Structures are given as structure tokens and as C-alpha cells.
Amino acid sequence: MTQIVFDDRAAQQLDAMYRTRDVVYRRRLVREALAPAIGQRVLDVGCGPGFCTAELLADVGPSGEVVGIDTSPAMLEAAARRCDGLGSVSFHLGDATQLPLQDYAFDRALCVQVLEFVLDVPAALRELYRVLRPGGRVLIWDVDWSTLSWHSANPARMRTMLSAWDRHLTHPALPRVLAPALRSAGFTDIRVEGHAFVTTALDPETYGGAALGNVQRYLGGLPELDQAEVQAWADEQRDLGSRGEYFYAVIQACFTATRPPTV
Ligand SMILES: C[S@@+](CC[C@H](N)C(=O)[O-])C[C@H]1O[C@@H](n2cnc3c(N)ncnc32)[C@H](O)[C@@H]1O
């Protein structure tokens, strides 16, 4: 296991990647599914560099509030800079499995591409449940990396690279088990929408186009991999891109659920 470390360098990389067209589109899907209203209190768990936090501040308006939590000081710094002067916002260093927050404090909570990195997912879901008010809604977004379809003329080499890439996180196929996990945590009205991110171009504005550099960087740090093979794999992808033969597709799952209202 060599999970990605969310340090200064990762914060800079996410800062660039989260401005790209597909990730901007993903945030639009998140905000539509979460549907926060003016005046509401929203919790962004694993807020990262704060792009979503900043947009949510506009959704809740000056009478609302957004709180961001992250385990990475570098991400929190970037998020605080991004959200400075945008409204009522605060950031706290904290873990999804032990939120430094009071019970019943939020109308909405979201956790976008975070739980796939968290060892104890049931504990994180219990915490989200605890801090939501009765009737409050949660949104969990994660990638099902087992659906990744990435074209190569050398499928065996691609399999080696993708099984190494699976080690960048804790749960490569978390969406498969999220519905029962949400139910066990007490949530009801569990819904899911799958979103396919598909590209046929090595275009950095797309999720699949940006993936090549990110995955190559990660694989380049794994001493157990033959680095000449990693380079040959990346070179092939760039060749496919220049010939108009690139193909990358992955399904990302957006779950929403409700903490039942008290009767
Ligand atoms: C892929 S980024 C997603 C950032 C943000 N949710 C977004 O979509 O813009 C994952 C973030 O989760 C944070 N994270 C990882 N494990 C965490 C944990 N146990 N508790 C809170 N945050 C965590 C990382 O530091 C990183 O900022």
C-alpha cells in the first residue's frame, strides 16, 4: 500500500486539475444533487483545496455557512486562501472518522472523492450521520476504479500499471458497497447516479486526459515497478493521443441519502 500523500505538492496538483473542464462539470453535478438552499449550514468533509467549498458559499448566501474539514494542512491553507472574503466559512484540521463538530449541526454534508482514501468508512458515515440534523442530507461521491477502461495495444502492461495504481488509495471500488454502508449508518432514501467520464482525446481539460500525467507521476514513485516499462506505457499513451486513438472511461458514483426526520 502506498497511498497518495496529500502534501503541498498534491495541493498544487489538485489546484491545477480542479480548474479543468471535467472537474468543473463534476462540481456542477455535486451541487445539483446536494441542492443546498440559502441560509443553510453545509459541511465539506475532505474539502481539499476548497473549490467546492467556495461554490457552496455562493449557494448558501450571506446568511448561510460552510465548514471545511481535512486531514491535510496544505489543503486547508489552499482552501482558506480560495474562500477568503467569500462568506461565512471556517476550516478545521480533522479526520472524517472523528469530526471535531457538534451533533445535529448541519443541513447538508458532502464528501467528494474522500472516503475511497479512508480506512474506516463505516466510522466516517456514522460521523456524517451524527453531525447532520434530522432530515439533513448527505452526498458521497467516489470513483469506481474497477470500471476503468483504458485502451492499450499491450493489455498485460496496462493491467500491471492499473493494479499498481489501485494502491494509491484504500478502496478502489468503494461505490459497490456504499448503499448498504449508508443503510447501516442509519441513512434512508438512498439514491445513486452513475456518471461516466469518457474521453477519446489526450486533452488535459478532460478527466481521462489529465489522468495520464497524474498516474505516471504516481507510478514513477514506486521502486518495485520497472521504470522503463512505466515510461514505455506512458509513451504509448502519448502516441495513441497524437494519432487520435486515445480512449479512457471510468464511472464515478454520486450517492445521496437522508438522516431520517424525527417523528
Ligand atoms: C481527491 S481530494 C478531494 C478534495 C475535494 N473533496 C474536492 O472534490 O474538491 C481528497 C481529499 O480528502 C482528504 N482526506 C483524505 N483522507 C481524509 C480523512 N480521513 N479525513 C478528512 N479528509 C481526508 C485529503 O487530504 C484531500 O484533500
Cα(101)–Cα(33) distance, integer angstroms? 24
Q: What is the pLDDT of residue 235?
A: 98
CA-nearest residue for atom 8, ligand 1, is 112
Across 230-258, average pLDDT:
98
187: exposed, middle or buried (Cβ count in 10 Å: 0-12, 13-18, 19+)? buried
**Ligand 1 close to Cβ of residue 70 (< 6 A):** yes
Q: Which H or E run contains 213?
A: helix 207-220
The rounded mean pLDDT for the chain is 96
Residue 114 CB–ligand 1 contact under 6 Å: yes
Q: In this predicted structure, what is the pLDDT of residue 3?
A: 87
Judge if the beta carbon of residue 18 lies within 6 A of ligand 1: yes
Ligand 1 and 95: CB distance under 6 A: yes
Q: How confident is the model at residue 263 (pLDDT cuts 50, 70, 90)?
A: low
Percent of the chain with pLDDT over 90: 95
Confidence tier at 159 by pLDDT (50, 70, 90): very high
Cα–Cα distance measured from residue 70 to residue 51, given in angstroms and rounded to the nearest whole number: 13
Which pLDDT tens digit goes with each residue over 198-216?
A: 999 999 999 999 999 999 9
Q: Is the pTM of this model over 0.85?
A: yes
User: How buried is 209 (Cβ within 10 angstroms: 0-12 exposed, 13-18 middle, 19+ buried)?
Assistant: buried
pLDDT tens-digit series, residues 55-106: 999 999 999 999 999 999 999 999 999 999 999 999 999 999 999 999 999 9
Q: Do 246 and 201 contact (CB within 8 A), yes or no? A: yes
Out of 6, 99, 110, 140, mutate this one to test ligand 1's pocket (max ligand atoms within 8 Å of CB): namely 6
Tell me what pLDDT residue 47 has.
Answer: 98
What's the gap in Å between 160 CA and the centre of ligand 1?
Answer: 26
Shortest-distance Cα residue to atom 10 of ligand 1: 114
Burial 132-145, CB ≥16 within 10 A → b, else e:
bbeebbbbbbbbbb
In this model, does residue 148 exceed pLDDT 80?
yes
Per residue in 16-26, pLDDT (tens digit) is 899 999 999 99
Length of the chain: 263
